[in-house]
Structure 1
């Protein structure tokens, strides 16, 4: 199977017509159809339903199409990165987990663009668990997550922190509190980050319970990010937890945001890298993250020494 075959299939999947796809690809319909047949034989599955001249994707075809798009995007990314490197440019590949879109992260990326315009930035949204695989397989250079779990061969450095807040529907009885005691919040059904799809947020939630001596409360629903949490809270399904800046980004007219009382610790956002020497570009990126978070440079920065 060649890359052009993947492009053929994606175009046919988008058009659901060999004639329209052939016009886009500048390939005759007959060899295009034959290429898709060969691909199906190679995979051992049917990608298309063919009935009375009409095409539609099989379930396996839909799944394969999504993966094919990712493969082509990865190849295009690698090709463009190689071209920029040959021309003297550099790139930092960032994996972002836990639906993070904090104002500090925006400031960090803006600082990078302003101070080092020849170094481009590539961003990939990932689950927290995928960051480790991305680093180990050299798919990303650095990860950003709220997951602080220590893993051998991985360096996690907290670069900034912020308060945790509770998201409540309007007219909720807990709105009588200016700051919410955690034990009062836990008496109500909760909307909680999914242990796998939003692992960083889930671990943060469990750590908060552990440090406060609380047990796991009633969970109404597990969600994959802040946006579905806001939707369910606004509809009255339960209360949600989140980072203060994230909750503000997804503000909804049917919800109210309240801080927790001070005994609940703030949550850290981590820069995650492998323990190999860093490129000069990556080292400068990390130093800017420290600057944004007001963090001093670690005394023993062995894992963060620039290459060469």
Structure 2
């Protein structure tokens, strides 16, 4: 089974068109179609149902799509490992980063990893929470960071640090009369909210916070993929933003004022999520290092 054919099949499965798929892989549609037929012949199953106008995956094709992804991921991982070994690395960690959590604590963690364990390679992959769950199940990452409190079967999580919620407010806004913003005042204004799929952790934190205080969620002006576009829309006057302090302060904007919520609103935890099994020695040290970084920052 040729790796190239697996790649061809995944592109066809995504495009559901030989002409569009051929353009993406830079070959003609006819040899692409032959390659898929060779793959079907080798497997002894039909992967695609073809008609004059349309193609779609058979059930066997649906199953094989997941297996092809897993095989290509395995091969990519093998290639990365031998290349890392050539550079002198003795171990590796594959870490998923969800909810746009590129923040100062994570920078300090990576810097400490390079300082204390230079022969362990740490690869960072940005993804959504749903992608993180699948990547853990398919052994594509070793652990993932998220603020989402939900937990899928077979996964465990540990708190590594906490963060205070804040409100991003445009200049000359009536909420600026408050030094700390009560949630009951937030509901009077339209809200820029994290997207329920692209940034589901932030979305879940916001919904949970308002639900725990039995305060209705404000009218939603726009959904965004992270804190940076949220700040842009707040500055433009679309609404106010609800986010985490460490994230919002990364994207300071001259037309946006940041105010804390009142002290009765709890902090939000950032979790490291992994399979419910004993972690490797490298991962165990990584988790301990992350929790120490959180202690230093919050002390």
Name whichever of 72-81 and 142-151 sits farther off.
72-81
Where 1:109 maps in the other structure, the secondary structure is helix
CA positional deviation for 1:102: 1.3
Compute the TM-score of the two structures, normalised by the length of structure 2. 0.76
5 Å-filtered alignment, 1:173-188, equals 173-188=174-189
CA positional deviation for 1:156: 1.1
Distance 1:88 1:236 in 2: 49
CA positional deviation for 1:240: 0.8
Q: Give the conservation status (yes or no) of the 8 Å contact 2:8–2:36.
A: no
Q: Deviations over 1:92-120 (max 9, x none)?
A: 00001000011111100110011111100
Match of 2:255 in 1: 254
Distance 1:91 1:109 in 2: 13
Match of 1:78 in 2: 78
Match of 1:273 in 2: 274
CA positional deviation for 1:34: 5.8
Match of 1:172 in 2: 173
Question: Is residue 194 of structure 1 aligned with residue 223 of structure 2?
Answer: no
Match of 2:61 in 1: none
Match of 1:214 in 2: 215
Q: Deviations over 1:45-83 (max 9, x none)?
A: 99xxxxxxxxxxxxx9xxxxxxx9999787434312245
5 Å-filtered alignment, 1:219-230, equals 219-230=220-231
CA positional deviation for 1:217: 2.1
Match of 1:153 in 2: 154
CA positional deviation for 1:216: 2.2
The root-mean-square deviation of aligned C-alpha atoms, in Å, is: 3.4
Where 2:288 maps in the other structure, the secondary structure is helix
Where 2:262 maps in the other structure, the secondary structure is coil
Match of 1:138 in 2: 139
Where 1:209 maps in the other structure, the secondary structure is helix
Where 1:236 maps in the other structure, the secondary structure is coil
Q: Give the conservation status (yes or no) of the 8 Å contact 1:230–1:240.
A: yes
Where 2:232 maps in the other structure, the secondary structure is helix
Q: Give the conservation status (yes or no) of the 8 Å contact 2:187–2:216.
A: no
Distance 2:234 2:77 in 1: 38
CA positional deviation for 1:175: 1.3
Match of 1:302 in 2: none
Distance 2:274 2:251 in 1: 29
CA positional deviation for 1:84: 3.9
Runs (5+) with no aligned partner, structure 2: 12-19, 41-46, 51-55, 57-67
CA positional deviation for 1:38: 3.5
Question: Is residue 98 of structure 1 aligned with residue 99 of structure 2?
Answer: yes
1:152–1:8 Cα change, 3 Å: closer
Runs (5+) with no aligned partner, structure 1: 22-28, 47-59, 61-67, 296-308
Match of 2:44 in 1: none
Compute the TM-score of the two structures, normalised by the length of structure 1. 0.74
Q: Give the conservation status (yes or no) of the 8 Å contact 1:5–1:35.
A: no
Name whichever of 34-43 and 97-106 sits farther off.
34-43
Distance 1:142 1:135 in 2: 7
CA positional deviation for 1:259: 0.8
CA positional deviation for 1:199: 1.0
Distance 2:247 2:171 in 1: 19
Distance 1:214 1:39 in 2: 58
Q: Give the conservation status (yes or no) of the 8 Å contact 2:98–2:144.
A: yes
